[in-house]
Amino acid sequence: MNSAPVIAIDGPSASGKGTVAQEVAAALGFHYLNSGALYRLVAHSALRRGVSLDDEAQLGVLAAGLDVDFRGEEILIQNEQVTDEIRSEDVAAGASRVASLPGVRTALLERQRRFARPPGLVAEGRDMGSVVFPGAVLKIFLTASAEERALRRYKQLKQKGIAATLPSLLEDLRQRDARDAARSVAPLKQCPDARQLDTTAMSAKQAAERILAWYRGLDW
Protein backbone atom coordinates (compact mmCIF):
# COMPACT_ATOMS: atom_id res chain seq x y z
CA MET A 1 0.00 0.00 0.00
CA ASN A 2 2.75 2.44 0.93
CA SER A 3 5.20 3.94 -1.58
CA ALA A 4 7.61 4.92 1.21
CA PRO A 5 8.39 3.76 4.76
CA VAL A 6 5.85 4.95 7.30
CA ILE A 7 6.25 5.34 11.06
CA ALA A 8 2.78 5.39 12.61
CA ILE A 9 2.40 7.00 16.04
CA ASP A 10 -0.97 6.65 17.74
CA GLY A 11 -2.13 7.57 21.21
CA PRO A 12 -4.60 9.55 23.31
CA SER A 13 -5.00 13.31 23.38
CA ALA A 14 -2.12 15.34 24.87
CA SER A 15 0.24 12.37 24.99
CA GLY A 16 2.86 14.37 23.09
CA LYS A 17 2.40 12.69 19.72
CA GLY A 18 2.74 15.88 17.69
CA THR A 19 5.98 17.12 19.21
CA VAL A 20 7.56 13.67 19.20
CA ALA A 21 6.47 12.90 15.63
CA GLN A 22 7.86 16.21 14.35
CA GLU A 23 11.21 15.52 16.02
CA VAL A 24 11.40 12.04 14.50
CA ALA A 25 10.42 13.35 11.06
CA ALA A 26 13.02 16.12 11.23
CA ALA A 27 15.77 13.71 12.29
CA LEU A 28 15.01 11.37 9.38
CA GLY A 29 14.14 14.02 6.80
CA PHE A 30 10.67 12.48 6.46
CA HIS A 31 7.33 14.11 5.73
CA TYR A 32 4.98 14.66 8.69
CA LEU A 33 1.24 14.11 8.96
CA ASN A 34 -0.82 15.48 11.83
CA SER A 35 -4.04 13.59 11.13
CA GLY A 36 -5.77 15.21 14.09
CA ALA A 37 -5.42 18.59 12.37
CA LEU A 38 -7.62 17.36 9.53
CA TYR A 39 -10.43 16.47 11.93
CA ARG A 40 -9.96 19.76 13.73
CA LEU A 41 -10.25 21.56 10.40
CA VAL A 42 -13.53 19.77 9.68
CA ALA A 43 -14.87 20.78 13.11
CA HIS A 44 -13.55 24.32 12.67
CA SER A 45 -15.25 24.66 9.28
CA ALA A 46 -18.50 23.25 10.66
CA LEU A 47 -18.54 25.63 13.61
CA ARG A 48 -17.82 28.58 11.32
CA ARG A 49 -20.59 27.64 8.89
CA GLY A 50 -23.17 26.66 11.46
CA VAL A 51 -23.16 23.01 10.42
CA SER A 52 -24.29 20.62 13.15
CA LEU A 53 -21.54 18.36 14.47
CA ASP A 54 -24.05 15.51 14.14
CA ASP A 55 -24.82 16.13 10.46
CA GLU A 56 -22.71 13.32 9.02
CA ALA A 57 -23.62 13.94 5.38
CA GLN A 58 -22.76 17.64 5.44
CA LEU A 59 -19.61 17.06 7.48
CA GLY A 60 -18.48 14.48 4.93
CA VAL A 61 -18.90 17.08 2.20
CA LEU A 62 -16.83 19.57 4.23
CA ALA A 63 -14.12 16.95 4.81
CA ALA A 64 -13.91 16.03 1.13
CA GLY A 65 -13.64 19.67 0.06
CA LEU A 66 -11.12 20.97 2.56
CA ASP A 67 -8.70 23.37 0.86
CA VAL A 68 -5.89 22.81 3.35
CA ASP A 69 -2.18 23.55 3.14
CA PHE A 70 0.45 22.47 5.68
CA ARG A 71 3.46 24.80 5.70
CA GLY A 72 5.83 23.59 8.39
CA GLU A 73 4.02 24.13 11.66
CA GLU A 74 1.50 26.46 10.06
CA ILE A 75 -1.90 25.21 8.88
CA LEU A 76 -3.86 27.18 6.30
CA ILE A 77 -7.38 26.67 5.00
CA GLN A 78 -8.30 28.60 1.85
CA ASN A 79 -5.01 30.48 2.36
CA GLU A 80 -6.07 31.66 5.84
CA GLN A 81 -3.74 30.82 8.73
CA VAL A 82 -5.78 28.92 11.34
CA THR A 83 -3.04 27.16 13.33
CA ASP A 84 -3.99 28.67 16.69
CA GLU A 85 -7.74 28.66 16.06
CA ILE A 86 -7.97 24.92 15.54
CA ARG A 87 -6.08 24.26 18.77
CA SER A 88 -8.84 25.74 20.90
CA GLU A 89 -10.66 23.45 23.32
CA ASP A 90 -13.98 23.97 21.50
CA VAL A 91 -12.51 22.82 18.21
CA ALA A 92 -10.69 19.92 19.89
CA ALA A 93 -13.94 18.72 21.44
CA GLY A 94 -15.68 19.09 18.09
CA ALA A 95 -12.94 17.14 16.34
CA SER A 96 -13.42 14.22 18.72
CA ARG A 97 -17.13 14.21 17.83
CA VAL A 98 -16.77 14.40 14.05
CA ALA A 99 -13.99 11.80 14.10
CA SER A 100 -16.53 9.23 15.29
CA LEU A 101 -18.56 9.59 12.08
CA PRO A 102 -17.83 7.01 9.34
CA GLY A 103 -18.64 9.49 6.56
CA VAL A 104 -15.97 11.90 7.76
CA ARG A 105 -13.33 9.22 8.24
CA THR A 106 -13.98 7.79 4.77
CA ALA A 107 -13.70 11.23 3.20
CA LEU A 108 -10.28 11.78 4.81
CA LEU A 109 -8.80 8.28 4.43
CA GLU A 110 -7.28 8.53 0.95
CA ARG A 111 -6.18 12.11 1.57
CA GLN A 112 -4.12 10.89 4.53
CA ARG A 113 -2.62 8.00 2.59
CA ARG A 114 -1.36 10.37 -0.10
CA PHE A 115 1.05 11.83 2.46
CA ALA A 116 3.10 8.61 2.24
CA ARG A 117 5.73 9.55 -0.31
CA PRO A 118 9.54 9.32 -0.50
CA PRO A 119 11.70 9.51 1.44
CA GLY A 120 9.20 8.50 4.14
CA LEU A 121 6.45 9.64 6.48
CA VAL A 122 5.88 10.00 10.20
CA ALA A 123 2.11 9.98 10.78
CA GLU A 124 0.46 10.63 14.13
CA GLY A 125 -3.12 10.30 15.26
CA ARG A 126 -5.58 7.77 16.67
CA ASP A 127 -5.75 5.13 13.91
CA MET A 128 -2.59 5.59 11.85
CA GLY A 129 -1.31 2.06 12.49
CA SER A 130 -4.64 0.28 12.74
CA VAL A 131 -6.51 1.74 9.76
CA VAL A 132 -4.71 4.35 7.67
CA PHE A 133 -1.27 2.74 7.40
CA PRO A 134 -1.63 -0.92 8.44
CA GLY A 135 1.59 -1.67 6.55
CA ALA A 136 3.68 0.84 8.51
CA VAL A 137 7.22 -0.40 9.14
CA LEU A 138 7.06 0.79 12.74
CA LYS A 139 3.96 1.32 14.88
CA ILE A 140 4.09 3.19 18.17
CA PHE A 141 1.39 3.62 20.79
CA LEU A 142 2.43 6.76 22.67
CA THR A 143 0.73 7.30 25.99
CA ALA A 144 1.05 8.98 29.40
CA SER A 145 -1.03 9.15 32.54
CA ALA A 146 -4.22 11.23 32.34
CA GLU A 147 -2.88 13.49 35.10
CA GLU A 148 0.36 14.18 33.22
CA ARG A 149 -1.48 14.81 29.97
CA ALA A 150 -3.84 17.26 31.67
CA LEU A 151 -0.86 19.07 33.18
CA ARG A 152 0.81 19.35 29.77
CA ARG A 153 -2.34 20.75 28.22
CA TYR A 154 -2.71 23.20 31.12
CA LYS A 155 0.83 24.49 30.58
CA GLN A 156 0.25 24.88 26.84
CA LEU A 157 -2.92 26.90 27.38
CA LYS A 158 -1.33 29.01 30.10
CA GLN A 159 1.56 29.93 27.78
CA LYS A 160 -1.01 31.16 25.26
CA GLY A 161 -2.86 33.17 27.88
CA ILE A 162 -5.93 30.92 27.72
CA ALA A 163 -7.75 30.40 31.01
CA ALA A 164 -8.19 26.79 32.14
CA THR A 165 -8.25 24.69 35.29
CA LEU A 166 -6.56 21.36 35.83
CA PRO A 167 -9.69 19.56 37.14
CA SER A 168 -11.74 20.56 34.11
CA LEU A 169 -8.96 19.62 31.69
CA LEU A 170 -8.52 16.25 33.38
CA GLU A 171 -12.24 15.52 33.18
CA ASP A 172 -12.30 16.58 29.52
CA LEU A 173 -9.38 14.28 28.69
CA ARG A 174 -11.00 11.33 30.41
CA GLN A 175 -14.26 11.90 28.55
CA ARG A 176 -12.39 12.25 25.25
CA ASP A 177 -10.42 9.05 25.92
CA ALA A 178 -13.65 7.16 26.63
CA ARG A 179 -15.32 8.56 23.51
CA ASP A 180 -12.32 7.78 21.27
CA ALA A 181 -12.00 4.22 22.63
CA ALA A 182 -15.74 3.47 22.40
CA ARG A 183 -16.50 4.73 18.89
CA SER A 184 -17.60 2.05 16.43
CA VAL A 185 -15.32 3.20 13.61
CA ALA A 186 -11.52 3.17 14.06
CA PRO A 187 -11.53 3.28 17.88
CA LEU A 188 -8.41 4.36 19.73
CA LYS A 189 -6.51 1.20 20.62
CA GLN A 190 -3.03 -0.23 20.61
CA CYS A 191 -2.34 -2.46 17.60
CA PRO A 192 -1.03 -5.93 18.47
CA ASP A 193 2.15 -5.16 16.50
CA ALA A 194 2.69 -1.69 18.00
CA ARG A 195 5.31 -0.85 20.61
CA GLN A 196 3.96 1.02 23.62
CA LEU A 197 5.91 4.05 24.80
CA ASP A 198 4.81 5.62 28.08
CA THR A 199 6.06 9.20 28.17
CA THR A 200 4.77 10.12 31.63
CA ALA A 201 8.33 10.52 32.93
CA MET A 202 10.00 11.29 29.58
CA SER A 203 10.71 14.44 27.63
CA ALA A 204 9.69 14.71 23.98
CA LYS A 205 13.36 14.50 22.99
CA GLN A 206 13.84 11.27 24.96
CA ALA A 207 10.73 9.76 23.40
CA ALA A 208 11.87 10.73 19.91
CA GLU A 209 15.31 9.22 20.51
CA ARG A 210 13.70 5.95 21.62
CA ILE A 211 11.59 5.77 18.45
CA LEU A 212 14.58 6.61 16.26
CA ALA A 213 16.57 3.83 17.90
CA TRP A 214 13.76 1.37 17.23
CA TYR A 215 13.48 2.50 13.61
CA ARG A 216 17.21 2.35 12.95
CA GLY A 217 17.33 -1.10 14.51
CA LEU A 218 14.87 -2.53 12.00
CA ASP A 219 16.16 -5.29 9.75
CA TRP A 220 15.81 -3.80 6.29
Give me the amino acid identity at 88: S
Contact (CB, 8 A) for 204 and 149: no
87-105 mean pLDDT: 89
Q: Which residues pair with 33 in a beta bridge?
A: 123
Write the pLDDT tens digit of every residue in 19-55.
Answer: 999 999 999 999 999 998 999 999 999 999 999 999 9
Rounded distance between C-alpha atoms, residue 108 and residue 105, angstroms:
5
Query: Residues with Cβ < 8 Å from 195, sequence gap 6 or more?
Result: 138, 139, 140, 141, 214
Task: Say what percent of the chain tops pLDDT 90.
Answer: 66
pLDDT digits (tens, 9 = 90+) for 127-170: 999 999 999 999 999 999 999 999 998 998 888 888 889 999 99
Who contacts 35 (Cβ-Cβ below 8 Å, separation ≥6)? 108, 112, 123, 124, 125, 126, 127, 128, 132
Q: Are 33 and 124 in contact (CB under 8 A)?
A: yes
* pLDDT of 119 strictly over 50: yes
- Supply the DSSP string of 4-27, one letter for each residue: S-EEEEE--TTSSHHHHHHHHHHH
What's the mean pLDDT when you consider all of the chain?
Answer: 90
Predicted TM-score (pTM) of this structure: 0.86
Question: What domains can you pick out in the chain, each with its CATH number?
Answer: 6-211 (3.40.50.300)
